A and B are shown apart, each in its own frame.
Chain A
Amino acid sequence: CILHCFLFLLVFGRAIHAIARVSDEFWFDPIEKGLALRSVNSSRSAYAYVFFSSMFFQHYCWTAVSQPCQKEKQLSLPCKLIIKSILPVFRCVNVLERNVEKCSIYTNVNDHHITFQLLCKHGVVKTYNLTFQECDPLQAVFAKHMCPNILKVHSRLLADIMIHFPTSQEEVTLSVTPMKVCLKSYTEEDTGFSKTMLTEIQLNPDEFDYFQVGVDSEVTFCLKELRGLLAFSEATSVPVSIHFDISGKPIAFGVEDTVLEASFILATLSDVEMETASQQPPCVSQRQESNAEAAASKKPRWNGNAPNTGSAKTTSPLAKQEIKSIPRVAKKGTTGVAGTAITEAEDHAMLEGEATESLSYFYKYCIFQFHSLFFGAVCCKEKDAISHTFHSLATPSDAEEDFGSGQSSQV
């Protein structure tokens, strides 16, 4: 497909920076309605999604190119870029705004190139040609509307709060009751004497534009990855919405307005003890078994994945095997990203009437791996999938049903 657009640099640049905090590479996914950027970090504990609708751009032109060799009409060309190559383009976003008059993005399928062209002052033209890799699409499914706790707050307030934490602070805990909200730094040290300074901020529910606490909860997530979204939301001055549940379930930070939408979904820490008491024991016990070496200690650990990339690497060969054994699912069949056992929500046409058996096996594997990202449900049933829009992350969740059916111990 061919994409040609001009854009508002500050917002776009901040989006790139935000995504860069999550991972070194990102998915560049132009579709008819707009441009989607996605990324996921190596331990699969953070997922970033930014969607710019075609109206965001001064000029947006997208043409589908169907390839006759494939059975289905190729609707989109998801491709993967190394973010390090694009970051210099948008490095000093503030400076950029002053010097650059226009920025256009072209894609060239045959060459496997995406071109960013900056038309600057004084007739200077900077052209960046970036190679991309074709890959399986990436999409996390998260049922926002199922979250009992929803907070909406202006990005300015969030920035004012986060400023109290040192930039080196890795993780923070958000704890809510209907009466108060508290954000505090999280440290893993068990020892009585810790050398680090701990910061805690108490907020009144009045300070939030929207405050709904259905269940008292305390969720711990990674602050570093979030800071990118905070900077981005400040640039857009759109309020930030926070959807979350109890600890262990993911937390989603999002901004949305008429021309753009962004979501950062982060895994939250869960206590080992809390897992065994959760409503989904079969899945949990399976995970505990195979992550036995990763969870050697009794300490709370990141749900569903080990904090180091080592574990992610060991699972990836397995993931690739699984994908290959279900050829329909991995229709693009390319090298793929490590551990991309993430569902393709767009492929509804393919799902219809397929051997549900192999599919549910695949999705169970998804649940197994990405309990932290996926709020219960992973697959969309056929009828739901059809109505599923490309850029929406909300999915009607049939969590309980999926878990109930076919809990075979194949994994």
Chain B
Amino acid sequence: MRFRAKIVDLACLNHFSRVINTIAKLAKTCTLRLTVSKLYFILSDKVANGGVSMWCELCQGNFFDEFQMEGVAAEHNEIYLELVPDNLSRALKTAQSAKAVKIKLTNKHCPCLRVAVELPSLSSSSRIVTHDIPVGVIPRRLWNDFREPSVPDFDVSIYLPVLKTMKSVVERMKNLSNSIVIEANLSGEMNLKIETDLVSVTTHFKDLGNPPWASEDGCQSSAQGRDLENMAEARIDIKKLQQLLAGQQVNPTKALCNIVSKRIVHFILLHEDVSLQYFIPALA
């Protein structure tokens, strides 16, 4: 099992750092899956996470100048590592002016991701800062736990409002209630509602637009033939939603959510080279 990668371009480095920062805000521990062409940050839906799950996919070619990987075996050319993304975030935080950043999988005393940052210095040779991030190697028999989640059979799919606005609304609502109801219909309308003994607050968004989903095998999805005004709703933990919105450092190219009534809300945030999917289950 080997892994070596190098980033030389500052813009790529900053972009990568931003992705890592977003992941770090969403999960304390997560799984990093490395393949020849892609990196995945995965959080599977365990009870400990509150049932949320995350799937983040990056094309390595968009970030790394060099990328070499050898998986556990020839026919399973992949590596699954468990790590604390915040460590990676901290290691990259002070690399903003780096000449180069190298990441390598090592196993000196224990498996580590070694991040070596080459910084400019006043002297002839560069200053090198090395961070050893402990990781856990996930054995192949557990790889099934980390399969890509399928898009659920949703009732309504709708584009999200401007994330900054949505974030400030949710943040204020967070002070009043622990749960929030997201409801939306196929006419581009979405409501965020909270209700407590003392107060209920609803924020209405209009003209959001509904993304067209091509049905895979021609069969009717539950979204077809649905009354356009009919709202699908789910009550979710407001903190989880706030975490997702607060973690976004850059405005995504596309942001949408799929609501399965009373079951789950599936968020998809697409950037140029990164896609992030986040599932928040509905509260009982």
Contacts and interface: CB of A to CB of B under 8 A. Distances in A.
A208 to B, nearest CB: 9
A164 interface: yes
A389 interface: no
B77 interface: no
Contacts of B110: 192-194
Contacts of B87: 197
B141 interface: no
Nearest to A157: B122
A195 to B, nearest CB: 6
B124 A206 contact: yes
A382 B84 CA distance: 60
B179 to A, nearest CB: 33
B239 interface: no
Contacts of B129: 164, 199-202
B178 interface: no
A199 B93 CA distance: 13
B133 interface: yes
Contact of A201 (B124, B128, B134): B128
Given A192-B110, A197-B91, A201-B128, A207 B122 contact: yes
A406 to B, nearest CB: 47
Contacts of A157: 122
B134 A197 contact: yes
Interface string A140-165: 00000000000000000100000110
A386 B196 CA distance: 78
Nearest to B127: A203
Contact of B134 (A163, A164, A195): A195
Contact of B122 (A195, A198, A206): A206
Interface in A209-241: none
B215 interface: no
Contact of A197 (B125, B127, B132): B132
B202 interface: no
A207 B133 contact: no
Contacts of A166: 90
A207 B130 contact: no
Contacts of A203: 121, 127
B94 interface: yes
A164 B121 contact: no
Interface residues of B, number: 20
Contacts of A197: 87, 90-91, 131-134
Contact of B123 (A163, A164, A194, A204): A204
A203 B123 CA distance: 9
A192 B122 contact: no
Given A164-B94, A207-B123, A194 B134 contact: yes
A196 interface: yes
A163 B131 CA distance: 13
B131 A204 contact: no
Given A163-B94, A192-B109, A206 B131 contact: no
A201 B133 contact: no
B121 A207 contact: yes
B123 A198 contact: no
Contacts of A192: 109-110
A122 to B, nearest CB: 35
Contacts, number: 56
Contacts of B90: 166, 197
A201 B132 contact: no
A204 B121 contact: yes
A157 B123 CA distance: 12
B122 A202 contact: no
A158 to B, nearest CB: 13
A203 B84 CA distance: 28
A210 to B, nearest CB: 14
B131 A199 contact: yes
Contacts of A196: 134
Nearest to B112: A198
Nearest to B111: A193
Contacts of A206: 122-125
Contacts of B131: 164, 197-200
Nearest to A193: B110
A198 to B, nearest CB: 4
Contacts of B121: 203-204, 207
B130 A199 contact: yes
A194 B90 CA distance: 17
Nearest to B117: A164
A22 B159 CA distance: 54
Nearest to B121: A207
B128 A193 contact: no
A90 B124 CA distance: 41
A288 to B, nearest CB: 29
Interface of B: 84, 87, 90-91, 94, 109-110, 121-125, 127-134
13 contacts: A164-B94, A194-B110, A197-B87, A197-B131, A198-B131, A198-B132, A199-B129, A201-B128, A201-B129, A204-B121, A204-B124, A204-B125, A207-B123
Given A164-B131, A194-B134, A199-B131, 20 more contacts: A157-B122, A164-B94, A166-B90, A194-B110, A197-B91, A197-B133, A199-B91, A199-B129, A199-B130, A200-B129, A200-B130, A200-B132, A201-B128, A202-B128, A202-B129, A204-B121, A204-B124, A204-B127, A206-B122, A207-B121
5 closest A-B pairs by CB = A206-B123, A197-B87, A198-B132, A204-B123, A193-B110
